[in-house]
Structure 1
Amino acid sequence: MSSILDLCRAGQLKAAFTQAEIYLTQYPASAVAQTEMHLVMLAYLKKAVAEADAAAASRCLRKLANLALPPHPGRDEQLFWEMRALLAALSKRQPVPGEAISELLTALTTVPVGAQPSKGRSVLLQAALKCKEHLPLTWWAWWNLETLRPEDFEQESFTPNGASKPVNLPAVAETAYGTYAAQLIDRLQMGRQPGAPAWLQTTGQAIAAQTRVSVDALLPRLEQLAADYPKYSWLDYRRAKLLAALGEDLPTTLAVLLPVVRRKSSEFWAWRLLAETLDATDAATATACYYRATTCGVEEKFVRSLRLQLASRLQEVQPGEASWQLQKAEETTKAEGWPVRGEMLSLQGKLAQYPPVPAADARRQWLETAEAAVYGDLPWQPVVLQSVRADAPDKPGAVYLLPPSAAGSPRALPVPLRRFKWVAKLPVGTPLQVRSELVNGKPRVLQVQKRPAGQAWDSLPAQVGVVTGSTADQARIFVTVRPGLRLSFAAADFGLMGLTAGDAVQLRLQAREKDGSTLYSVMVAAKTTEQPDAAIHREFAGPLRLHAKGFGFVDSFFLAPHLITRHGWQDGEQVSGRAVLSYNKHKEKEEWQVLTT
C-alpha cells in the first residue's frame, strides 16, 4: 500500500485522506498519525491556494478545525505561509472579493494554533492587514497580538524619488493595534448614528456592552505602546477615540486627545475628532473645530463631508457662510463625479435664497475659539519676527521667531512657513506671541498671534550706549555699548540726525556668529535720558594738574592742550566735565575721551 506522502504527491488526495483518517481513528494520540493527517489537509489547502479558490480553502480550514489536531509549531508555520500566499493573491483582485476574504479568515480562526511568535505568523498578519476592511473581530483573539516579534515593532523607512528626507512607514505592530482599536470603535458606535432605527440602537447597545471588556483590556496597552514608541503617532488618536466612544468623562478624553491634536494640528482629522468629542457639551466650540479642520490645506475631497456638516450647522445662524460651504462641497462633488443626494439636496433647497458670502468676522472668531480649545492651557511667550526663508525646491520655507534672552543672543524658533504664511507678510521685528511645548527637549511652536502691546524687537534686551562721535556729515554714529563692544549705525535709519558725542542712546542688538567672532547689528536705536553705565560714561571734578607741555589731568582723566587753552585753565583750578570710553585708533586701545566741561 502506498504511503500517505506518495498519495499526496500523486494528487490522490481522497485516498490519502481515507488512509490518514483510518490511522488517526485507530491512534488518535499518535504524533505520526496527526502529522500525516495534517499533511493531507495541507495538500488540499495548497491546491486551493494554487487556484486562488477562497471557497475551497475555507472548506479545507473548517475540516481541519473539526479534526481538532493539537497545535504544533512546524505545522502551524506551514499553515501561516499558505494562508499568507492566498490572501496576497485575493487582495490583488479587482474588485477585491471582500466577502470571500472575510469568510476565509473566519474559517481560519476556527483552526487551533499555538501561541509562539514566528516569521510565518508575522507575514500572515501583514497580509491580513492589507485586507483589514474584511477582518473578522475573531481574528484578533486567534492571531494573538501578544505573539508579535520585536521586529514587528520596528518602523521601516524609504526615501521617495526627489525627496531629501526618508519617510517612516508604520510598524506592523502599530498598524495591527490601530486596526484592532478601529474595529472596537466601530462596534461601540453601532446604532448611535442620528436617525438610527430603534432595533439598531438596541442591538448597538448590546454589542457595545460586549465590546467593553475588550476595550478595557486594550486601553492600557495602547497607553504603554504610546509611551514606549513615541513615533507611533496614531495610537494616541485611537486611544482618544476609544475613550470618546466609551463615553468617558470629557477631561479624561481630552487629556489623551489634546496632545494628539497639538502634534497633528495640520491634519484635518485631528480637529474633526476634537469637534466630535466636544459636540455634546460645547456645540459652539465644536463648530469652531469643524471650521478649523477645513483650513488644513488638504485636497477638497477629504473635507467635503466637513463642509456639508458646517453648512447644516450654520444654515440658520450664518446662512451666507453656510451657502459658501455648500458651494465648495458641490464643486468637489461635481469634480469627483459623485452623485448629488441626501443632505446635499436638502441643503440646496434650504439655502437657495442665500448667496455664498464668507463670514470673515465669524471665521476669525472660530479660529481663535478652536485654537484656544487646544492650546488654552499653555502660556503665551513673547517673541519677535526675526526673518523669513522662502520656499526652495530642496528646502521648505521657514519663519524664525526670536524669544527674549537676557544674554542678548537668543536662539530663534523655526516654524514651517506653510503653517504661518501670514507671519511672512509682517515686517521683521514685529512683536508676536507664541504658545509652544517641549518635544524631545526642543520647543515646538503651536500657535502664533500678534502682540499688540509689544514694541519692535523687544525680545532683544535694551542696552544703553553712549555716542562717542560721528562721521563728518553725521550720517553714521559711533557708539560704545560696554568695554570691548563698539559699533556704528546709520542715523537716518532710526531718525536720529543731530546726535552729538556724549548723548545716551537705547539700543537693541542682534548677535550672530561669523568665523568664530560675534557680530552685532543695531535693530533699534533711540535717544534716552537714562544714564549709561559708569564703565563707559563718567563725570569728573577736581583740581587741574597742569603739565609743562600744555596738557593736564583731573583725577585720572586726560585733558588735551586745546581744551586747556580754550578755557584758559590754570594749574590747581577746579575743573569738572564728562568723559566717554572711546577707541584710540593710533594707540589701538580703549581710553577715556573728555567731551564737555
Structure 2
Amino acid sequence: MPDLSYAWDRYREGKAAREAGDVPALHEALDALVHLPEAIRHDTRLGNACGWLLYYQAKACLQATPPDTAGVRELLLKARAFAYDRSQTPNPCSLLLRQAIKIRPQFPEFLAWVRWWNLDRLQPEDYVPYTPPGGQPLMTLAEQAWLALGKALVAGGESGARPDPAELETYVVQVGWVLDAHPDFEFLPYMRAQVYMALDQPEHALENLRPFVRAHSHQFWAWDWLGRAYYRLGETEAARACLARALSERTPAAMLVTTRERYARLAREMGHETEAKACLQQVIRTRMETWGRLPKRLEREQASDWYQATEAAASRDLQIGDWARQATTYLYDDLPEELAVVTAVSRAKGMAWYRLDRERSGNLRLHELDVPAEVYPGDALRLRVQAQAGKEEVWYRALTARPTDEPLPPDLARSFQGTLVRPEGKPYGFVDHKYFVPPALLQESDLPDGTSVQGGLIMDYDRKRKKWGWMVVRLEEA
C-alpha cells in the first residue's frame, strides 16, 4: 500500500527527471503522485513540493519556442490533485495561477480551474504590485486573476455557452468588494462594465466605463465599449460619437476593423448609407490586405441590395471627424454643468479664459469644445470642469463647454452706466473712477473723456493691489 514515503520517492524521481530534461519520466512520476490516495496527496508539504515542480516545468514550457501551452495545460490540470500551504512566501499555488492566466485563451478548463483555485484565497502579497529593477510597477496577481475570471465568465467558460447570469452577478458583487479595498485596481471597473453588458445592464456598464475612459481617452477600445453601452441604452447619437472617437485614435487599421464595421452599421441604421458603404469598403479592403479573406457576414453584406445600390461617400464627405468631436460631451454628461463668465479671449492662440467664482478659474481651447470662435469677454458659458494641480495653484480644466443666454450671477458679472474717464497720457481708463477699462477695449471704443457710457462688468482680481474689483468688458455710448 503506497504511503507518504512512497510519495516522496516519486517526487524525487520527478524532480530528477525535470532537471535532466526528461519530460516523459517527469510526467510518469507526476501521474503516480496524482493517483495516490487523497489522504497522501493532501499533505501540504508534499503539495507545495509538487507545486514547485509543476511550476518550474510550466515555466519551461512557456519559454520554449514556440511556447508549449498544451504542456502547461496538462500540468495545471494535474496541480488540482494536491493540497497547498498558501501561507508560504512565495507560494507555488500563486505562481501556478500566473501560468493559468497566461494561457487562458488556450485553456478551455480555465473557469473550472479557477473555481478550484478559489480567488477568495488570494494572499496579501498577491495584492502587491511587483516592480522589476529599474522598471515600472506591474499589475498585481490579484487584479490579473479577477480580470481573467471576468473574461472567462463573459465568454461562457469551457463550453463557450451563454454566460451564466448567476455567476456574473456573483462576480459583480465580488469585484465590488475588491475595488472597495483596492480602488487603485484601474482595469477592474472596465471588466465589470463588460460583465454588466453581458447581464444586459448597460446603465451600470456606463457608470463603470465613464471614469475608465476618462483615464484612457486615447485607447480606441475604451471608446468602443462606451459606444456599445450607449447603443444598448438606445442613445444612438452618443454611440456613434464614441465609435467615431475610437476610429479617430492613432491605431493600426487592422485593429479597427471591428469598430469601423460597428460604426458603419450604426451609420446605416441612422440613414447615412453612403457613409456606411464607404466605411464597409475600408473594412473589406483592410481585411483582404491583412488576412486575405472575409467573414461570411461581410460577403453577404457585399451582395445585399442596399450595398449594391448605394454609392460610397467620398473620403472628404465622411462625418467621422464631426461625430468624434462630440464624444467628449457624452463622456462627461454625468457631471454637473456650472455657469461661468468668459474673462479673456485670444484669437491668435484659439484660447478663452473663464471664471466660475472667486476661487476657480481656468482656460479652454475654442476648437476642442462646442464654443464659437466669436465668443467674447463677458459671455456666459455652461461648463463641466476638472481640478488640475498647477505649479503654484489649482486651476480648472474645461471638459465640456457650450454658450448660454442664461443671466450670470451678480457676483460674477453685472451691467453699468456712468461717465468715461480717460487719464491724460494713460492707455487705460475708468468709469466713474470705479471700474477699470483695459487699454484694448478703450482703444476699440474710441470714445472721448466724459462720454456717458454703459456696458458690462466682470469680477476681476487685481494682482498688483491684491484685491477684487470690477473690470469693464463691454463699453458703448449710452
Map of 1:94 onto structure 2: 65
2:343·2:354 contact (CA, 8 Å) conserved in 1?
A: yes
**Structure-2 change in CA distance of 1:527 and 1:299 (3 Å):** same
Which runs of 5 or more structure 1 residues have no equivalent in the other structure?
1-23, 29-33, 161-165, 192-203, 390-396, 530-597
Deviations 1:62-111 (A, max 9, x none): 33221132434443333333333223222233332222222221222233
1:115·1:144 contact (CA, 8 Å) conserved in 2?
A: no
Map of 2:42 onto structure 1: 71
Q: Which has the higher contact order (CA 8 A, sep 6+)?
A: 2
Q: Distance in 2 between matches of 1:301 and 1:388?
A: 42
SS at match of 1:137: helix
Identify which of 99, 103, 122 aligns with 1:148.
122
Map of 2:90 onto structure 1: 119
Deviations 1:446-479 (A, max 9, x none): 84243153799x9953475966742446753245
1:431 offset after TM fit, Å?
Answer: 5.3
1:47 offset after TM fit, Å?
Answer: 2.1
- Does 2:177 align with 1:224? yes
1:498 alignment partner AA:
P
Map of 2:400 onto structure 1: 448
Map of 1:37 onto structure 2: 7
1:325 alignment partner AA:
C
So what's the TM-score if we normalise by structure 2? 0.75
**Structure-2 change in CA distance of 1:176 and 1:332 (3 Å):** same
2:339·2:356 contact (CA, 8 Å) conserved in 1?
A: yes
Deviations 1:163-216 (A, max 9, x none): xxx96532221111111111111117976xxxxxxxxxxxx25xx4xx455434
**Structure-2 change in CA distance of 1:78 and 1:465 (3 Å):** farther
Deviations 1:216-251 (A, max 9, x none): 43321101122222221221222222232234x554
2:370·2:402 contact (CA, 8 Å) conserved in 1?
A: no
Deviations 1:231-288 (A, max 9, x none): 21221222222232234x5545544445545554543333433444455662835555
SS at match of 2:336: coil
Structure (1 or 2) with the greater helix fraction: 2
Map 1:489-508 to 2 at 5 A.
Answer: 489-500=439-450, 506-508=456-458
> For the aligned residues, what is the CA RMSD?
4.8
Map of 1:301 onto structure 2: 254
Q: Distance in 2 between matches of 1:349 and 1:77?
A: 60
Map of 1:329 onto structure 2: 283
2:428 alignment partner AA:
R
2:448 alignment partner AA:
G
Identify which of 371, 376, 384 aligns with 1:435.
384
1:355 alignment partner AA:
A
Which runs of 5 or more structure 2 residues have no equivalent in the other structure?
none
Q: Distance in 1 between matches of 2:274 and 2:404?
A: 31
Identify which of 114, 131, 147 aligns with 2:103.
131
Deviations 1:36-83 (A, max 9, x none): 622532441452365284x65555433322113243444333333333
SS at match of 1:230: coil
Higher CA-based Rg: 1
Identify which of 355, 373, 381 aligns with 2:312.
355
Q: Distance in 2 between matches of 1:219 and 1:419?
A: 40
- Does 2:53 align with 1:82? yes
**Structure-2 change in CA distance of 1:184 and 1:435 (3 Å):** same
SS at match of 1:448: strand
SS at match of 2:400: strand
Deviations 1:128-185 (A, max 9, x none): 433333342232133332332323223356899xxxxx96532221111111111111
1:507 offset after TM fit, Å?
Answer: 3.1
**Structure-2 change in CA distance of 1:254 and 1:494 (3 Å):** same
1:331 offset after TM fit, Å?
Answer: 5.4
- Does 2:330 align with 1:380? no
Identify which of 130, 141, 151 aligns with 1:172.
141
So what's the TM-score if we normalise by structure 1? 0.62
Q: Distance in 2 between matches of 1:70 and 1:333?
A: 52
Q: Distance in 2 between matches of 1:37 and 1:418?
A: 74
1:521 offset after TM fit, Å?
Answer: 10
2:369·2:401 contact (CA, 8 Å) conserved in 1?
A: no
1:88·1:127 contact (CA, 8 Å) conserved in 2?
A: yes
SS at match of 1:497: coil
Q: Distance in 2 between matches of 1:241 and 1:518?
A: 52
SS at match of 2:60: helix
Identical columns (%): 18
Q: Distance in 2 between matches of 1:106 and 1:297?
A: 41
Q: Distance in 2 between matches of 1:41 and 1:70?
A: 11
Identify which of 201, 220, 224 aligns with 1:272.
224
Map 1:479-494 to 2 at 5 A.
Answer: 489-494=439-444
Greater mean deviation of Cα atoms: 288-297 or 233-242: 288-297
**Structure-2 change in CA distance of 1:268 and 1:521 (3 Å):** farther
Q: Distance in 2 between matches of 1:413 and 1:474?
A: 29
1:189·1:245 contact (CA, 8 Å) conserved in 2?
A: no
Map of 1:240 onto structure 2: 193
SS at match of 1:89: helix
